Amino acid sequence: MPFAVPVAEQRFLLTHVAGIAELAAMPAFADATPDMIDAVLEGAAAFAEGEFAPLNRIGDTAGARWSADGVTMPAGYGVAYRDYVAGGWGTIDAPVDVGGQGLPFAVATAVLESLGTANLSFALCPTLTVGAIEAISAHGSADQQARYLPKLVTGEWTGTMNLTEPQAGSDVGALRTTAEPQPDGTYRIKGTKIYISYGEHDLAENIIHLVLARTPGAPAGTRGISLFVVPRYRVAADGTIGAANDVRCVSIEHKMGLHASPTCVMSFGDQDDCIGEIVGPEHGGMRAMFTMMNNARLNVGLQGVEVAERATQAAVDYATGRVQSARAGSPSRESVAIIEHPDVRRMLLRMKALTQAARALCYHAAGQVDRAHQGDAAARVRVDLMTPLVKAYGTDIGVEVASLGIQVHGGMGFVEETGAAQHYRDARIAPIYEGTNGIQAADLVGRKLTGDGGAGLAALLADIRGEGGGEPALIALVDAVARVADALRTGDGDDRLAGSYPFLTMLAVATAGWLLTRQMHVASGDDAFARMKRTTARFYLDRIVPEAAGLEASALAGAAGLYALTAEELAA
């Protein structure tokens, strides 16, 4: 089916949710003029539609291939990636002094959305590189920044995050990879990492791995972790590429989805000759890791938007062309396109409303990131609060909308040729990686809810009440969120965690409902776009917001019922 980037929606969100005009008034973002933003959005859309999108199905069916010589990407990916680099699409929000354009992160979010909606597997590569750029920018030495950032920013080199090991998944502190100091100040790295997206590929001339490891005598657990930059090919002082480092991809995973994204098992130091450089202070790895992870979590939430948008477009296209049965209650007995049937309309409107809700969360968070980078302390608090909401709710929406897309297609949704199944297969990993959604919920109630005495949440709820006062269902949900928050703050650990997931969903829906209310009021015209915005917002406020209010009982139910059975009884 034809695919089109929703440029009008992106421009609308940048204006009314991210607040691009306010950002452009800041000296750091003076180049973010309306003409510049339009050129970036339209150029990225044309590139995504013309080069990334045609490779989506090819990547799914052919996949990345591993051999002893390395990982080979599907046909066409190499050319498209070189065009991505040549077009400067990775440089949008990077600092000018390392080759970036210095535009707001919110604009880069829109560009990444276009690429990921066109081809989710492919866009993972630049998504991960962004995390490496953030970590080196925030924690690397001046020398490391000079040697690595210019090529990472352009995309000539790509970056990875190497956290997970066979025995250390969510429990990062259990990792065993070692880093032995050398007389010249470097370290010999030795260990194995798993689930490393784009750990090996043939798209770029170098891959810069950021690796968590332990130095000799390091404290146990997360306190003893350090971060190291470990290039696939060693980089000389002048930034030129030297000899191969002792880094190998020993296999790639055979996955449910994201087939064109090589998920690698990486071996460091098989020949005891893997050289790395420490990033930041010794034992400062967790702080640096969260710099990478927090950025990645926002971008993974955006992946939920990307797959939901693609699935929605496919479902609307199919429903418009598929003729089946007369419409119930119609005097005519002629068969109509299934888009005319009430239940299909319900599903399509739910898909559109959920997708736009998740996008609103992402763009609001992106605008707050830009303000935080300019020293706005309140924006930093808002970003910290929004991150688990964006990641968890955004990816839950991606899965739900992709599943609804299969349902709209009916039996053909279960057949691979329509592509509807790929959306679901690709979406299903997003609630798992970069910190499971359960971990996001635990972080929300364990740190974000109490770390500042509840001030960040209070400010968010005040914003929602201020703009959403005319929506009784939304205010009822905010009241429920406040009651649950008070209970979880004072509850014991198990009870708080037992209620954390429904609480996260309630807060995410309330926040999205607020942002959709704003859009509904602004979209006052009589054109098709304005009518669509008002209708989808109304659907969300009337149907999805009340659903979330119903989660209050679950959030307050406590943990006792979860432990009513022993582990053995659960297996019975």
* CB-CB contact of 191 with 268 (8 Å): yes
Cβ neighbours for 13, distance < 8 A, ≥ 6 positions apart? 110, 359, 360, 363
Which tokens sit at 483? Answer: 């009651």
Q: What is the DSSP string of 186-211?
A: -EEEEEEEEEEETSS-SSSSEEEEEE
- Give start and end residues of each alpha helix (H) in 335-436: 342-373, 377-409, 420-427
For residue 434, how many C-alpha atoms fall within 13 Å in the half-sphere facing its CB? Answer: 31
Q: What are phi and psi of 67, to 5 degrees?
A: -145, 175
How far is residue 330's CA from residue 270's CA, in Å, rounded to a whole number? 72
Say how many Å lie between the first and final Cα of the chain, rounded.
Answer: 47
Active-site position among 434, 471, 552, 568: 434
Cβ-based burial of 330 (10 A; exposed 0-12, middle 13-18, buried ≥19): exposed
417 belongs to the catalytic site: no
Residue of 298, 278, 66, 261 lying closest to 188 (CA atoms): 278
Which tokens sit at 96? Answer: 């000018």
Q: What is the CA radius of gyration of the chain?
A: 24
Count of beta carbons in the 10 Å neighbourhood of residue 185? 8
Side chain identity at 177, as an amino acid letter?
T
DSSP category for residue 208: E
* CB-CB contact of 212 with 162 (8 Å): yes
Q: At what angle do helices 142-154 and 120-139 cross, to 10 degrees?
A: 160
Q: At what angle do helices 493-522 and 472-490 cross, to 10 degrees?
A: 160
For residue 382, how many C-alpha atoms fall within 13 Å in the half-sphere facing its CB? Answer: 25
Side chain identity at 368, as an amino acid letter?
Q
Query: Which residues are tagged catalytic?
Result: 434
